[in-house]
Amino acid sequence: LSQHHRGRTEAPHATQVTPLVERLAATRRSQHPIAVSGERAATALADPAALEQLLGQLVQNAIDASPPHEPVTIAIGFESGRVAIDVIDCGCGMSPAFVRDQLFKPFVSSKPGGFGIGAFEALQLAQQMEGQIEVTSREGIGSRFRVLLKRAHAADIAHEKAA
């Protein structure tokens, strides 16, 4: 498992989400089409390296699940005062029982040859940043993984600039 999973994350601080997501998408577009949409000014309380790793796991899972020419979408927005980052695929989807009982367990995968680490590690990283992951999936249609993180407010951003 990664270094971040072993507890080596920075304390969450004001992190601009869109540039991080754009960089991640740019590195993965050679593998698969990726679309980025949504709120351009979203700033979350996060460890940037941990957030990049978390989203990298979810994006790779979405790429693996998707047909070759169906883009993976990363959508940035707000929900109940938090930053919401959705990773959406049009892949095979997962059963409600798998999502409920097995998705976030290590070494359990719905993919042939999968290791079952990505979603588990992503959840651990989200929790280390006081965030959460919500999953909506329909078999034969696809999945949406929503990462919810605390929104950085003006005082958090001003503190970061002063430091």
The model's confidence at residue 9, banded by pLDDT at 50, 70 and 90, is: low
User: In total, how many domains does the chain have?
Assistant: 1
Query: pLDDT of 93-104, one tens digit each?
Result: 999 999 999 889
The domain that holds 19 is classified in CATH as 3.30.565.10
Q: Is 112 part of a structural domain of the chain?
A: yes
Give the domain extent around 78: 13-162
Q: In whole angstroms, give the CA distance from residue 7 to residue 158.
A: 27
| pLDDT score, position 100 | 93
112, amino acid identity: P
Q: In whole angstroms, give the CA distance from residue 83 to residue 45.
A: 9
Residue 117 pLDDT > 50, yes or no? Answer: yes
Whether 78 and 84 have beta carbons less than 8 Å apart is answered as: yes
Give 140 or 118, the one with higher predicted confidence: 140
Query: pLDDT of 129-143, one tens digit each?
Result: 999 999 999 999 999
Q: In whole angstroms, give the CA distance from residue 50 to residue 12.
A: 9
Query: pLDDT of 18-47, one tens digit each?
Result: 999 999 999 999 999 999 999 989 999 999
Query: pLDDT of 50-87, one tens digit each?
Result: 999 999 999 999 999 999 999 999 999 999 999 999 99
